[in-house]
Structure 1
Amino acid sequence: MGPTQDRVYRLSKELGVENFRCYDEGIAIAYNRGKWRTMAGLCPDTWNPFLYMDLNHFWHLVDEMGKKIPMDRPWDFPEAEEWDNMTVKEWADKTFWFQLTKDFVAVQCTLGFCAENKDMSLLYFLWYIKGGSGYLRFSSTENGAQERKFVGGSHQISLTMADRLGEERVLLSKPVTEIAQDADGVTVTTATGDIYKSKYIIAALPPAMLNKITYTPSLPALRNQLNQRYPMGSVIKTMMYYDRPFWRDSNYSCLVLADGIICGTQDDCKPGSKYPAIIGFIGGDAARETCHLTKDERRDLIARRYATLLKNDAALKPVFYVEKNWMEEPYIGGGYVGYTPPGVITKYCKVLREPIGRLYFAGTETATKWSGYMDGAIQAGERAAREILHAIGKISKDDVWQEEPESKDMPALPFEESFLERNIPSVSGFLRFVRTSLMLTAIGGAIWLKRDMIQNLVKI
């Protein structure tokens, strides 16, 4: 949780779930194609001014392009179809000059979306980051999306809500197999054979998981097709525990962006915990390529990788290891969120939040802000509830979508950029400037030469 995620902060505060700031001191690391670099801000450090231009251009361009996208209707603007039919890889290959920049974009996809850049729509990539309040907020720890964690884990929010609602209203281990609706209401059947009736129903599943349910009447064609085209990301979340946070000895923050088995890490030294840990994510192709290994084999591969990334053999001696393969979860299917391949947003997503009779849709994929996060899930759930309140005449249509006031306890501070970061051109922009300057110089020289020749002729 971090600034601008005001809904999850408000709810956690109501429920009495406390939070703490994540460790964000020291040097971050980038590792790419066997080369170890430190991070300068949110980009790999480099001595090459042209590479710096390219990297700086990347994240500024993401925000600049995102300004054009309407968050509630990302299919409805002039460039929508062009951007939606293009993969992130295709865009990066034709936009950026250096392989490191292209690789950096790829790692952002693997870590942020658990998907490969070759599989994901550019429009989705831009829309998602804009919904995360822009690239800096989306990517940062301090003042960003990774700033805080919940004491006892974010599951404390779910557990506390369930406790307040009461066990007779929160039914576990009863997966829904069928939803039937008619003019009188909705009938829900579970795998345990239980039957429940209601006036309306909200499905807060990822789109890909909605097809595990039988519907009567059947879902409309476009909705059925959408569900088939909105896959979950591929990710294994890992926790490597040590007897001491050895990376801090070298002043490393333990924030790492890398290619290979681990695409990103973060320091996970919880207050009061006896053993410090490193969170590491295996995402995209790496998750699919290593999911057949045993848990111990993955642990050993990761430990060796940490020894390389953190330049310390202490990484080879973990005291404990925990992992969660989200791809094995039968009612989730992956993580952290569903994403769209090329063409899906403009052809199918118009029905993403559209009710079907008495069936309404929530889930973080349907959020227009912080989609993929708990904050987006809360926005979606509250919106769907208000849609039903509007359907039964309790509130007006204008009250369905409501803005959340900014938290005074977790304000979104502006990010400070240097003069160079704000004004340095892209490589293409710089070359255009040089070309134009040379042309103007040549034209000026020609004019001067011609003037000099005319003056000499006049003298003769």
Structure 2
Amino acid sequence: MSAAKLLKANGLTPVVLEARDRVGGRTFTVRNRILRLAKEYGIETYKGKSHPFKGSFPPMWNPFILLDFNNLWRTMDEMGKERGPWRAPHAEEWDKMTMLQLFEKICWTSKVLHFAKLFVNVNVTSEPHEVSALWFLWYVKQCGGTMRIFSTTNGGQVCVWWRGSCGRLESDQRVHGRRAGRPGYCGSMVIEEEGAPISLTLDDTKPDGSVPAIMGFILARKCRKLSGLTKEERLKKICEIYSRVLGSEEALHPVHYEEKNWCEEEYSGGCYTAYFPGNLTQYGKVLREPVGRLYFAGTETATEWSGYMEGAVQAGERAAREEVPAIPFVTTFWERNLPSVGGLLKMMGVSAFLSVATVSGLVIYKKGLIPRS
């Protein structure tokens, strides 16, 4: 759609061929009756306000875990700085290595190793043993690094923490004027508990405070496991974990529930993005190359925020520019060859010197001060 928009702006008449019965690809908005039902049952809507942590991740008080966390993020960011990705000095080595193997080399504590695995789950909906270290390091880098990709404020994501079964709850976003029964937190959560169906949630309440909703993600191995349950069974498990994390019985009685299994989408086969399982060095360089008049776009072909809507727009516009290249500017001979001011003065100085030298030579020659040949 972004490519077609830019082509149209350049005077062409593009035709968009869509395989689905809707546009949008991996963006899909469900229109439902939730606001009408909320009003019918007298449920109050609310507005929220953010108060972020000073960092992207919750504070760690164990010094060894703190050191381990810091080393993990710093090492990943440093490794991601290598040029490439497929031209990186360690490209072949890292492409054959999975992120799980890399984490096992970097991480010293089980706590950090566990969270590192969740970091992959949340960002690319895959398991660490499934993705190439080279690709994932590049993926994080092109989203601005570990802090940027994982942040909600000034970044990409998240905010309420649930650690195992210890019941500790932290938040960098508190809700003011909340609806009754919600314990002062926004709907953004990272849930590390292995048995929890949801790993990540985002508050999907509309900007005007209408349609209060929590959007949760069932990721990677949990998606494969829970897809065998019924919709009602999944809903029950989700409500139970929300109730525990938020400390609210109200979460057990949702007004409305929608779910979307992206694995069942014929033309997507999953979400949010496609990953490279160790073949980026082989195929990465030709990912964006056109074949004749056939040009390729899509969020996976983006060079910034690949896997996101921003990347999809960038890739569409890049493909359109390949089809409609910029018209070159025509310059005159003088525009190409006129000297600079400094060059002109230099030329004038040399010319003046040559003129003076020539005149002096003629005078000397006429006076007979130098012999004639």
- TM-score bracket for this pair, using the shorter chain length: 0.5 to 0.7
Q: Tell me which amino acid in the other structure corresponds to 2:217.
A: F
Q: Which amino acid aligns with 1:57?
A: N
Instruction: Identify the residue that residue 255 of structure 1 maps to in structure 2.
Output: 189
User: Cα 1:246–1:67, aligned 2, differ >3 Å: closer, same or farther?
Assistant: farther
Please say if residues 55 and 101 of structure 1, whose CA atoms lie closer than 8 Å, have aligned partners that are also in contact: yes
Q: How many residues align?
A: 267
Larger Rg: 2
Mapping of residues 280-291 of structure 1, within 5 Å: 280-291=216-227
Seq. identity, %: 46
Letter in 2 for 1:25: S
Question: What TM-score do you get using the length of structure 1 for normalisation?
Answer: 0.53
Which residue of 1 is the match for residue 238 of structure 2? 302
In structure 2, the CA distance between the partners of 1:128 and 1:56, relative to structure 1 (3 Å rule), is same
1:389 Cα offset (Å): 2.3
Kindly provide the amino acid, as one letter, of the partner of residue 225 in structure 2: E
Question: Does residue 351 of structure 1 match 2:286?
Answer: yes
Residue aligning to 2:73: 59
Residue 249 of structure 1 deviates from its aligned partner by: 2.4
Task: Indicate the SS of the match to 1:256.
Answer: strand
Matches within 5 A, 1:160-309: 245=179, 248-251=182-185, 254-258=188-192, 259=194, 260-309=196-245
Matched, 1:46 2:57: no
Give the alignment partner of residue 121 of structure 1, picking from 132, 140, 147: 132
After TM superposition, list the pairs within 5 Å mapping 1:20-35 onto structure 2.
25=50
Runs of 4+ in 1 over 6 A off after TM superposition: none
Q: Work out which of the residue numbers 68, 77, 83 in structure 1 matches 2:82.
A: 68
In structure 2, what is the equivalent of residue 433 of structure 1? Answer: none
User: Kindly tell me: are residues 293 and 279 of structure 1, through their superposed partners in 2, closer, same or farther at Cα, counting changes over 3 Å?
Assistant: same
Aligned to 1:180: none
Q: Which amino acid aligns with 2:239?
A: A
- Deviation readout 1:58-104 (Å, 9 max, x if unpaired): 2222211111133xxx1111111111111111111111101111111
Q: Tell me the distance in 2 between the aligned counterparts of 1:382 and 1:97.
A: 44
> Which runs of 5 or more structure 2 residues have no equivalent in the other structure?
10-46, 159-177, 330-373
What letter matches 1:127 in structure 2? Answer: W
Distance 1:245 1:90, change over 3 A: farther
Question: d(CA) in 2 for partners of 1:246 and 1:112?
Answer: 32
> Residues 252, 377 of structure 1: CA spacing in aligned structure 2 closer, same or farther, 3 A cutoff?
closer
**Cα separation, 2, equivalents of 1:263 and 1:245:** 24
Partner residue in 1 for 2:300:
365
Check conservation: 1:247, 1:310, Cα contact below 8 A. no
Q: Is the contact between residue 303 and residue 315 of structure 1 (CA under 8 Å) also seen in structure 2?
A: yes
* Equivalence map 1:381-396=2 (5 Å): 381-390=316-325, 394=327
- Equivalent pair of 1:92/1:105 in contact (CA under 8 Å): yes
| Counterpart check, 1:374 vs 2:309 | yes
Q: Cα 1:349–1:246, aligned 2, differ >3 Å: closer, same or farther?
A: farther
Give the direction of change, closer, same or farther, for the CA distance of 1:273–1:357 in structure 2 (3 Å limit): same
* TM norm structure 2: 0.65
Q: CA 1:317–1:279 in structure 2 vs 1: closer, same or farther (change >3 Å)?
A: same
SS in 2 for 1:361: coil
Out of 316, 322, 335, the position equivalent to 2:271 is 335
Structure with the larger strand share: 1
The answer to whether residue 132 in structure 2 is matched with residue 132 in structure 1 is no
Partner Cα distance (1:24, 1:120) in 2: 36
| Partner residue in 1 for 2:260 | 324
**Considering only aligned residues, what root-mean-square deviation do their CA atoms show, in Å?**
2.9
Question: Would you say the 8 A contact 1:23–1:253 is kept in 2?
Answer: no
Q: 1:297-352 deviations in whole A, cap 9, x for unaligned? A: 111111111122223222211111111111111111110110111x2101222221
Aligned residues of 2:263 and 2:270 also touching (Cα < 8 A): yes
Question: Counterparts of 1:41 and 1:301 in 2: how far apart (Å)?
Answer: 31
Shift of the 245–137 alpha-carbon distance from structure 1 to 2, 3 Å rule, reads: farther
The CA distance in 1 between the partners of 2:231 and 2:69, in whole Å, is 36
Asked if the contact 1:80–1:346 (Cα under 8 Å) also holds between the matched residues in 2, the reply is yes
How far apart are the structure 1 equivalents of 2:239 and 2:155?
28
In 1, Cα distance between equivalents of 2:49 and 2:281: 39
SS in 2 for 1:116: coil
Q: 1:269 and 1:247, CA in 2 relative to 1: closer, same or farther beyond 3 A? A: farther
Q: Higher relative contact order by CA 8 Å / sep ≥ 6: 1 or 2?
A: 1
Structure 2 partner of 1:109: 120
Counterpart code for 2:50? E
Superposed CA offset, 1:167-224 (max 9, x none): xxxxxxxxxxxxxxxxxxxxxxxxxxxxxxxxxxxxxxxxxxxxxxxxxxxxxxxxxx
Task: Kindly state the Cα deviation for residue 116 of structure 1 after the two structures are TM-superposed.
Answer: 0.6
Residues 120 and 340 in structure 1, CA contact (< 8 A), matched pair in contact too: yes
Deviation at 1:252, TM superposition (A): 5.5
